[in-house]
Amino acid sequence: MNTSARKRTTALPAWLLQGVTISYILLIVLFAIAAAINPNYASWANIRNLLQIGAFIGVIAVGQTMVIITGQIDLSVPWNLTFSAILMATLISHGYGTTTAITAALISGTLVGIFNSIGTAIFRIHSLVWTLGVNALMQGATLVYTHAQPPKVDVPPLVRALGSGELYGIPVPLMVWIVAGAAALVVLHRTRFGRYLYAIGNNESALFLSGVDSRKVYLGAFAMSGFCAALAGIMLTGYSSQTYLGMGSDYLLIPIAAVIIGGTNIMGGSGGYLGSISGALIVVLLQSVLSTMQIQEAGKDIVFGSIIIVLLLLYGRQKLSNH
């Protein structure tokens, strides 16, 4: 039926149309352009800086990739992140130990993730709506809890190190990203849970009829996303040496954009974290290039939006060649 579409796409080799490949090609091209404009771009100091910032997006994208592979989305990241970070700061200001505070923040983030999965998997409310509501709920909770005034606190060295530290010349956030990223790749491609994430995104009823409790799979994905949001919140607290109410607001759409640019299907079922890595780097690189070119916020948004649209059109062709 769609032989005409098939003919057009087979003009290009199939691997070239894979989302992952496209995103890495785009990353290299972007980097080459940036370096051509300003040779400083290729300096280790600059690359280091990009990787450090990319780490925050990359960590959030670990959870978001898993959720998006199931065909859902987690919109509760910004205020889940903020709430967890402020919870940690408050505990520290009350004299609790750093490890206790960090653990509490991670548990809080994970619990919010579990709450997200309850709405999605048990009440069957689309995550687009449910997690948006949870985000608002967390925002309200944070404001009530802090009287709109996050605690002023001396950020302890461990947290500071997680956000901006350096070990053997390598930024600690980058190390965290590498560990989280490697774990994500293993989970997605080598474990049962990972396999079920893809299966649920392709055909939930087939998975259910194969004897897998799909609710647990959703639970795992959303819990992972909540955990990652909290982890990013802790890292960001260390990075900026403080907690503040708007700290999560940049971390909703940008990690989602990174996941999609990396070739993960927004409808679920295909993609992976390898793409999300290049997606995160592309996003950071673009932002950095656009601001050094002194393009204003509005201009940035236009470039950003156009890239996403073009990539989605490209990935759409890849879809056609599959059927």
Partner 1 sequence: MAELSVAGTSSDTPALEARGIRKQFAGTVALEDADFSCRRGEVHVLLGANGAGKSTLVKILCGVQPPDEGTIHLDGEEVTMTDPIRAAELGVAAVFQELSLCPHLTVAENIMLAHEPTGPVGQIRSRQLRRRVSDLFEQVGIDHIKPDILVARLTLADQQLVEIAKALSHEPRTLIVDEGTSALGREEVRRLFDLLGRLRSQGTAIIFISHRMAEVREIADRLTVFRNGTNVGTVDAADMDEGYLVELMLGERIEKSFPERAPRPSSADEPLLDVTHLGAGDLLDDISFQLRAGEVLGVAGLEGQGQGDLLLALFGMVRRLSGEIRVRGERVRMGSPWKAIRAGFAFIPEDRKTQGLLQPQSLRENIVLASLGALTRHGLIDRSRERRTAESGMQRMQIKAASMELPVAALSGGNQQKVVIAKWLETGGDIFLFYDPTRGVDVGTKRAFYELIGELARDGKAVLLYSTELSELVGLCHRVMVMNDRRVVETLADNAITENAILAASLGVRERQVPEADAPTTQTAGGAS
Residues that bind partner 1 (CB under 8 A): 186, 190-192, 195, 198-199, 202-203, 205-213, 269-270, 322-323
Cα separation, 66 vs 85, whole angstroms: 22
Q: Are 279 and 23 in contact (CB under 8 A)?
A: yes
Closer CB to partner 1, 202 or 240, in the complex: 202
Smallest gap from Cβ 270 to partner 1, in A, equals 7
Closer CB to partner 1, 209 or 313, in the complex: 209
Smallest gap from Cβ 19 to partner 1, in A, equals 13
- Which residue reads 């408050």 in tokens? 90
Closer CB to partner 1, 160 or 195, in the complex: 195
Smallest gap from Cβ 199 to partner 1, in A, equals 5
Q: Residue 167 pairs with which residues in a beta bridge?
A: 170
Closer CB to partner 1, 68 or 285, in the complex: 68
**What is the signed CA dihedral for 214, 215, 220, 226, rounded to 10 degrees?**
140
Locate all alpha helices (DSSP H) within the chain, ordered by sequence: 3-10, 19-37, 44-69, 77-93, 98-117, 127-146, 157-164, 172-190, 192-202, 204-209, 214-240, 253-261, 273-292, 297-322
Q: Are 126 and 283 in contact (CB under 8 A)?
A: no
Smallest gap from Cβ 130 to partner 1, in A, equals 21
Cα separation, 106 vs 111, whole angstroms: 9
Closer CB to partner 1, 58 or 271, in the complex: 271
Cα separation, 62 vs 153, whole angstroms: 29
Smallest gap from Cβ 211 to partner 1, in A, equals 4
Closer CB to partner 1, 152 or 323, in the complex: 323
- Provide the CA 178 distance to its chain's centre, in angstroms: 14
Q: Token pair of 128, please? A: 């687009």
Smallest gap from Cβ 260 to partner 1, in A, equals 18
Smallest gap from Cβ 195 to partner 1, in A, equals 6
Closer CB to partner 1, 62 or 87, in the complex: 62
Q: Are 233 and 89 in contact (CB under 8 A)?
A: no
Sign for the pseudo-dihedral over CA of 81, 202, 195, 185: negative
Smallest gap from Cβ 129 to partner 1, in A, equals 18
Q: Are 198 and 69 in contact (CB under 8 A)?
A: yes
Closer CB to partner 1, 91 or 180, in the complex: 180
